Amino acid sequence: MKFSDLGEKEIVRRIDGILNAMDLNVGDDAAVLEIDDEFLVASTDIFYEETHKLPGMTYEQIAKYVVASNFSDIAAMGAKPVALLVAFGCKDMEISDFENLITSIAIECKRYDAKFIGGDTKYSGNLVIVGTAIGKTKKPVFRSGANVNDIVAVTGTLGDAGLGVRLLMENLIDSDSCKESEVIRKALEPLARVNEAQIIGRFATSMTDISDSLAFSLYDIAEKSGVGFEIYPERFPISKNAIELAREFKFNISEFALYTGGDYELLFTIQEDNFNEVKDEINATEIGRVIKKGIFSVKNGKREIIKKRGYEHFKTKNKKGFIFI
């Protein structure tokens, strides 16, 4: 049996089982270690040129992607990122390109009021960047706290990144000519919802980020919390740019919102009174409710099972980091 027979999710589940047998817990967006009256939060994420570099992607954009994908996991725990370590594997690249990449990573860390504190370099046949993010919080938020009747909500808009990737990969749109496009920006330059996470973290019963798909993230929380969801696709927050482009190219934008990744928005559950208190401050949208079991979309009174589907390393056939709808 090989990795491709299992997929990333099952591989992580097996690691979870091994570490839990050793009294170590994994399975959330980041690891948590209690130190005095605070919690240290740590996570790692890989950028691999063959699977993550999109057409037209610059070194500045690679830096933004690396920092955002790492800090998004910290934010998903309700924590604030404080530092990033980065290990590089690359060919004999131009020094100017390498310095551009390093400088851009440092600049991006400052965006989140965090520090780039070094790393390592090695030769590699492809560009590989492994980030290790460190954060801290007084109160971590896990995937395991959702309660029946909680509101299900997301930050920002959904489906932009997945749609942008498809347009870029199929040469339906040019990144240089669409620099102002929200869809292309989220595909090439995602942002971690760090500030929003600090507010959500005070009230959320569970939380995760949307990296591989909303559907996968729903299943992640459901499995850890032992609950289910009713999701209402007509409530999905979709950007005007995504609606226009989906209409132009005859795509179903709700499918992109549900089954593609890369938006790095936060998915969280929260009691209704607390949601009403914070929703405007964090630009969040209610998309469903927590139920006892099952994960369903509800449209026009009809229930349908949401498939456990999205991008999964070792399993998804599309070599770039998104599944096509």
Q: pTM for the complete prediction?
A: 0.90
Mean pLDDT (the chain, rounded) = 90
**Tens digits of residue pLDDT in 22-68:** 444 555 889 999 999 999 999 999 999 998 999 999 999 999 999 99
**Tens digits of residue pLDDT in 91-111:** 899 999 999 999 999 999 999
CA distance 289 to 151: 5
pLDDT of residue 314: 46
pLDDT of residue 83: 98
pLDDT of residue 322: 46
Q: Residue 302's pLDDT band (boundaries 50, 70, 90)?
A: very high
Compute CA distances 189 → 115, 161, 208, 271, 315, whole Å: 19, 9, 20, 32, 25
Residue 135 CB coordination number (10 Å): 29
CA distance 84 to 80: 12
21 pLDDT more than 70: no
Domains of the chain and any CATH numbers: 3-137 (3.30.1330.10), 151-305 (3.90.650.10)
Write down the H helix ranges in the chain: 3-6, 8-20, 49-52, 59-75, 95-111, 160-169, 182-188, 194-200, 214-225, 240-248, 253-259, 272-282
pLDDT of residue 1: 77
Residue 161, SS3 per DSSP = helix
238 pLDDT more than 80: yes
Q: Residue 3's pLDDT band (boundaries 50, 70, 90)?
A: low
**Tens digits of residue pLDDT in 243-280:** 999 999 999 999 999 999 999 999 999 999 999 999 98
Percent of the chain with pLDDT over 90: 82
239 pLDDT more than 90: yes
User: Mean pLDDT over residues 191-200, rounded?
Assistant: 97
Show the tokens assigned to 123.
Answer: 């030769």
* Residue among 267, 262, 283 at smallest CA distance from 69: 262
**Tens digits of residue pLDDT in 134-181:** 999 999 999 999 999 999 999 999 999 999 999 999 999 876 667 679
Q: Residue 16's pLDDT band (boundaries 50, 70, 90)?
A: low
